[in-house]
Amino acid sequence: MNSIDLAGQVAVVTGGAQGLGLAIARRFVQSGAQVCLWDLHADMLAEAAATLGGATTMQVVDIAQPDAVVAAQQRTEAEAGPVSILVNSAGIAGPNHPLDAYPVDAWQRVIEINLNGTFYVNRAFVPGMKARNYGRIVNIASIAGKEGNPNASAYSASKAGVIGLTKSLGKELAGFDIAVNCITPATAKTRILEQLKPEFIEYMLSRIPRGRFLEIEEAANMVAWLVSKENSFTTASVFDLSGGRATY
């Protein structure tokens, strides 16, 4: 593992109780950061925090509730200090249906968590980063946001929105020492696969030239560099983790 210095940094990782979020948080702790895990699931959150050790705190937060996000941001910074690293990993896949049969309530929930939730969390932390003239933000998008997946219009649209939000915010903050980037992973071996039909999982695997799913540690390694001080120039950009599926 390459050494990346995050000593003295305070990081928030949403969706930090499992999957990509937990792997990213673990890499941050290994790199010297103090990490606050945000997640909706209290039991899983407590278990995850315990495995990461003393440099970890937690907040039970529903990122789809803007007032709850602001309250959690205030609690986090009161307890841990100013947040300089933000990773938005919380998200859901939603059901698989053709668009003309997609349940409206399911569509709204996917958009509310994946896209609006990312907006609410970014909005809560950006003012402090601007005031301190420093910050690193990574929003977790998806290869689906670049290419679209059939029978997953809500998820694909939400992640395309995350890409657009990242590009816009990165340009807004380009005059500060704040980098805002996103990653577009292909399917990884996480519990989000439990929400998908087997035939859809096989479809996604068949699209990856590497011939395998993403390992969560591979994503954590890329994100660790993106949130480091060494990433001092690149912003408003998209970093691909699709195993060759996308070449742009």
The reply to whether 151 falls in a domain is yes
Domain range for 202 is 10-241
| Domain containing residue 63: CATH number | 3.40.50.720
**What total of structural domains would you count in the chain?**
1
Mean pLDDT of the 144-158 span: 96
Measure the CA–CA gap between 65 and 124, rounded to whole angstroms. Answer: 12
- pLDDT higher than threshold 90 for residue 188: no
- Nearest CA to 19 out of 50, 56, 46, 44 is that of 44
The reply to whether 119 falls in a domain is yes
The reply to whether 36 falls in a domain is yes
> Residue 192 has what pLDDT?
66
The reply to whether 248 falls in a domain is no
> Residue 181 has what pLDDT?
98
Measure the CA–CA gap between 17 and 30, rounded to whole angstroms. Answer: 17
- Structure tokens of 97? 């249906």
- Give catalytic residue positions: 155
Q: Is 211 left (phi over 0), alpha (psi -120 to 50) or beta?
A: left
Segment 87-112, tens digit of pLDDT:
999 999 999 999 999 999 999 999 99
The reply to whether 46 falls in a domain is yes
> Residue 201 has what pLDDT?
82
The reply to whether 1 falls in a domain is no
Measure the CA–CA gap between 90 and 113, rounded to whole angstroms. Answer: 8
Entry pTM:
0.94
- Helix (H) or strand (E) holding 7, with range, is none
CB burial of 18-29 (b: ≥16 within 10 Å; e: otherwise) equals: bbbbbbbbbbbb
First-to-last CA distance in the chain? Answer: 27
- At 183, is the pLDDT very low, low, confident or very high (cuts 50, 70, 90)? very high
The reply to whether 166 falls in a domain is yes
Phi, psi dihedral angles at 146 (to 5 degrees): -85, -45
The reply to whether 3 falls in a domain is no
- pLDDT higher than threshold 90 for residue 198: no
